[in-house]
């Protein structure tokens, strides 16, 4: 059975995409801790961090680094934070978010009631910052649909 994230990647469930390559996608979480909070997700269904092969894990961290730098720029944040938990969806994902301090880095601060317009605006700011950083080839043409791979 496909995971929730696979359904988002396959377009069966809506997503707000800021990055796509042949191994990973990045989309907004629906319950951000801070504006611009996104998930780095492998296209391959890997249940958790410790199940990932080293090459895939290294790729996900590289993508998280690029996205984190774009978040710092787009949201004028001093840091980009990386959180890995994976209890809600059994599909490996890295939470990357602009951060101003450690106290906010708790899932108890997640805001599941964030209006869709705010999620869209934050994703578009991040997409623009990725383009400005020279990552045009990885920013999907549409916020809500992935470009075909291949």
Catalytic residues: 93
Nearest to 131 by CA among 121, 141, 146: 141
Contact between 1 and 11 under an 8 Å Cβ cutoff? The reply is: no
- Measured CA to CA in angstroms, residue 25 lies from 104, 115, 137, 142 at distances of 25, 22, 13, 13
Helix 54-75, helix 116-132: angle, nearest 10: 100
């Amino acid at each position: 059975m496909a995971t929730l994230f696979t359904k988002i990647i396959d377009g069966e469930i809506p997503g707000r995409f800021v990055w796509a390559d042949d191994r990973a996608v990045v989309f907004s979480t629906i319950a951000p801790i801070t504006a611009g909070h996104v998930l780095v997700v492998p296209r391959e269904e890997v249940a958790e961090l410790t199940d990932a092969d080293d090459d895939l894990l290294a790729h996900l961290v590289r993508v998280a680094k690029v996205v984190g730098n774009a978040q710092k720029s787009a949201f004028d944040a001093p840091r980009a934070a990386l959180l890995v938990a994976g209890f809600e969806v059994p599909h490996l994902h890295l939470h990357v978010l602009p951060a101003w301090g450690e106290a906010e880095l708790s899932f108890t601060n997640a805001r599941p009631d964030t209006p869709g317009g705010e999620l869209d605006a934050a994703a578009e700011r991040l997409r623009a910052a990725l383009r400005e950083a020279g990552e045009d080839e990885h920013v999907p043409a549409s916020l809500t649909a992935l470009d075909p791979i291949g």
